[in-house]
Amino acid sequence: MCGITACVGSERTVPTLLTGLDNLEYRGYDSAGIAIQNGDGLSVFKQEGKVSDLAERVRRRDPTATTGIGHTRWSTHGPPTDGNAHPHTDCTGEIAIVHNGIIENYAQLRSMLKARGHELTSATDTEVVPHLVEERLDQGATTFEAFKDTVDQLEGSYALAMVAEGGDTVYATRDGSPLVLGVGEEANFLASDVPAFLEFTGNVVYLENGDTVVMDADGYEISHRDGASIERPVREVDWTAEDAEKGGFDHYMLKEITEQPTALRQTIRGRIDPDRGSVELETFPDGSFADVERVQFIACGTSYHAALYAVQILSNRGVPADAFLASEYTAGVPPTDEDTLVVGVTQSGETADTLNALEMARERGLETVAVTNVIGSTAARTCDESLFIRAGPEIGVAATKTFSSQIVTLCCLAERIATDSTDHCPSETFVQAIEELPGMIESVIDRSTAEPAAIAYSDSDSYFFVGRNEARPVALEGALKLKEISYEHAEGFAAGELKHGPLALVTESTPVFAIATGSNEERMVSTTEEIRARDGPVISVAPADSEIAALADHNLAVPETHPDLAGVLANVQLQLFAYHTASLLDRAIDKPRNLAKSVTVE
């Protein structure tokens, strides 16, 4: 996720762009840049780091302009460096472009442009765009034609904004990534999201996929793919900038829970082929893991639960695997041999315990892979290879969408490892279920009864979560999420362990969440009966028509899917339960007491 912004017509275009980027920093924050048009032509300022670093540099130079575009980046292609920061320009430096999204056919376009003599200097997918525009301009097209023809060649998702030297016009389009137009009195604006320009205008036009906009100080024109002009309604927003950043949600956590379908579509984009039942990972061509005999996962917190889930997925495919808490790994180094693959799972890529453990594995000569959300993170730079979960930035301290994206990324990795290193045959049903997962999460969120369940059980003494196999890490995660944000006592167990101790604590005021994933339903039914015999209320997380749902006091329904993925759906229900419980208790949901998003000390 990145943020783009544009402004035309204001004498204060430069500070306006910088304010816009500042308000969009929640969409990405590893590098930033602006391109502005003034009497001297096009000037580009861009650099690695925060928007505030860029703003300081720009202010020192004090440029003036009435037209410009800006970008705050969350890397998806290429690490966060000055060169990879947007805007990107063509060979002549007369075209500047900002982009949010992924251009899937960039490799092919890049080779074609290089063969024709273009010099591309960054590692981004975006840089092909200004060069394609340059090509069409050389062939005699107008700037608008060159922009439109270029967009026609792109595959993937994008919101793009462009300025060209010598003109006070911004050209923009969207397909699959957001873009909103702000209609001001003397100036007009474009951005990925309303907060970018909300302090200048509250009159907005929400652009649709396929819309192209040509905007100058006097107005704007919107056309569709076929070239026909379109009128879109101008709406007035009455939110504050902060409300707008949260997209109308009360908390980032709820926003991020509902973003999971989008995040997962990004996670799997270009990585699965449901027709062939195959998984293709960009950094790991077929056969990459042929020599792997065993996998060790290292992680902390929620990422550790994702790692435990991955262990189960690998075990189901006959690959020996273990998950270690990073702090324990360094304390007592487990046995390894040269065919052990070490996978660090870390959303931020900056958790000190995980980095230390990965360093230790490297010192022992083991191959290391970072599964992370942050391209330029220390974990990504330290490990031999990286696999990015592509969830977009997560602001809420409690990990939600990154957990789902970690699991799905790890499922793809597990399928690849098993296919390469054992006689496991790629499973069409599994890969098809991955493809269907985002839509299923949408339906879970839309129909969830987690809020009434949270109200019904809000004065409980403790909450227990039980599950078997891949549902066990989900039980652990369900308990962690609830305790993190509600401060209520919650514990997760393997369902089979209930009778070896925790059952002593079960009473009528300790609800037990029984998580069924389809592979172990019969045994979960007997667990449910054990709990009910002690008067413990049971909240099942299972398909609506299942036996366990019929036995339970309340069911949080999940659709039927491949058993390896059912845990992801169940977890969404538990995220919502935790959220609503914390909300009823009026907790600081996005910033729970004593906790940090990323723990960079041991």
Does position 399 bind ligand G6P by CB under 6 A?
Answer: yes
Nearest residue by C-beta to ligand G6P? 301
In a 10 Å sphere around its CB, with 0-12 CB exposed, 13-18 middle and 19+ buried, how is residue 38 labelled?
Answer: middle
**From 38, 47, 449, 598, residue interacting with ligand G6P (rule: CB under 6 A):** 598
Minimum distance of ligand G6P from residue 63's CB (angstroms): 38
91 is catalytic: no
Residues contacting 262, CB < 8 A, separation 6+: 392, 438
Nearer to ligand G6P, 115 or 601 (CB): 601
Q: Quick one: 348 or 540, whose CB is closer to ligand G6P?
A: 348
Dist CA 265 CA 207 (whole Å): 21
How open is the CA angle 14-19-21, to the nearest 5 degrees?
A: 95
The tokens of 494 are what?
């393997």
Q: Please report, to the nearest 10 degrees, the dihedral formed by the alpha carbons of residues 412, 415, 420, 422 taken in order.
A: 160
User: Does 95 participate in binding ligand G6P (rule CB under 6 A)?
Assistant: no
Q: Does 571 bind ligand G6P (CB under 6 A)?
A: no
Cβ closest to ligand G6P, residue 348 vs residue 386: 348
| Residue 107, token pair as written in the block | 């490799």
Helix, strand, coil % in the chain, rounded to nearest 5? 40, 25, 40
The least CB distance from residue 18 to ligand G6P, in Å, is: 29
Q: How far apart are CA 308 and CA 314, in angstroms?
A: 10
Q: How far is the CB of 462 from ligand G6P (least distance, A)?
A: 21
We find the least distance from the C-beta atom of residue 255 to ligand G6P, in angstroms, to be 16
Binding region for ligand G6P (CB under 6 A) out of 97-105, 362-370, 506-514, 593-601: 593-601
| 591 carries an active-site annotation | no
Question: In the set 302, 421, 460, 540, which binds ligand G6P (CB under 6 A)?
Answer: 302
Q: Which is nearer to ligand G6P, 361 or 498 (CB)?
A: 361
Which residues have CB under 8 Å from 416's CB, separation 6+? 279, 281, 284, 288, 289
Amino acid letter, 191:
A
Cβ atoms within 10 A of the Cβ of 121, count?
A: 11
Nearest distance in Å: CB 398, ligand G6P = 6
Residue 67 near ligand G6P by CB under 6 A: no
Query: Is residue 555 within 8 Å of 540, Cβ to Cβ?
Result: yes
543 binds ligand G6P (CB under 6 A): no
**How far is it, in rounded angstroms, from Cα 511 to Cα 460?**
7
DSSP reduced 3-state for 518: coil
Site string for ligand G6P, 304-343 (x = CB under 6 A): ----------------------------------------
Residue 196: CB minimum distance to ligand G6P, A: 27
> Could you tell me the smallest distance in angstroms from the CB atom of residue 304 to ligand G6P?
7
Among 354, 368, 486, 528, which residue sits at the site for ligand G6P (rule: CB under 6 A)? 354
Nearest residue (CB) to ligand G6P, 302 versus 486: 302
Tokens found for residue 231 = 């009128």
Binding residue for ligand G6P, selected from 112, 214, 494, 599, defined by CB under 6 A: 599
Cβ(178)–Cβ(209) under 8 Å?
A: no
Give the residue with the Cβ less far from ligand G6P, 19 or 303: 303
Residues 6+ apart with CB under 8 A from 158: 99, 100, 101, 102, 103, 151, 173, 174, 175, 176, 177
How far is the C-alpha of 453 from the C-alpha of 418, rounded, in Å?
39
Contact between 38 and ligand G6P per CB under 6 A: no
303 is a contact residue toward ligand G6P (CB under 6 A): yes
Say whether residue 300 binds ligand G6P (CB under 6 A): yes
Beta carbon nearer to ligand G6P, 264 or 357: 357
Residues 50, 91, 591, 597: which is the catalytic one?
A: 597
In whole angstroms, give the CA distance from residue 484 to residue 458: 16
Residue 226 CA: distances (Å) to CA of 199, 223, 263, 544: 34, 8, 30, 46
Q: Does 397 bind ligand G6P (CB under 6 A)?
A: yes
Which residue from 23, 192, 347, 386 is in contact with ligand G6P, where contact means CB under 6 A?
347
CB of 417 to ligand G6P, least distance (A): 21
Q: How far is the CB of 241 from ligand G6P (least distance, A)?
A: 26
Q: Does 595 bind ligand G6P (CB under 6 A)?
A: yes
Residue 348 binds ligand G6P (CB under 6 A):
yes
- Collapsed DSSP state (helix, strand, coil) of residue 545: coil
Closest CA to 22 of 198, 142, 260, 177: 198
Structure-token pair, residue 545: 């028509």
φ and ψ of 576, to 5 deg: -65, -40
Q: Which two tokens stand for residue 423?
A: 């006689």
Q: Is residue 301 part of the contact set for ligand G6P (CB under 6 A)? A: yes
- Cβ distance to ligand G6P smaller for residue 153 or 598: 598
Strand, helix or coil at 7? strand
CB nearer to ligand G6P: pick between 425 and 596: 596
Rule CB under 6 A: which residues touch ligand G6P? 300-303, 346-348, 351, 354, 397, 399, 595-599
Active site residues: 2, 597
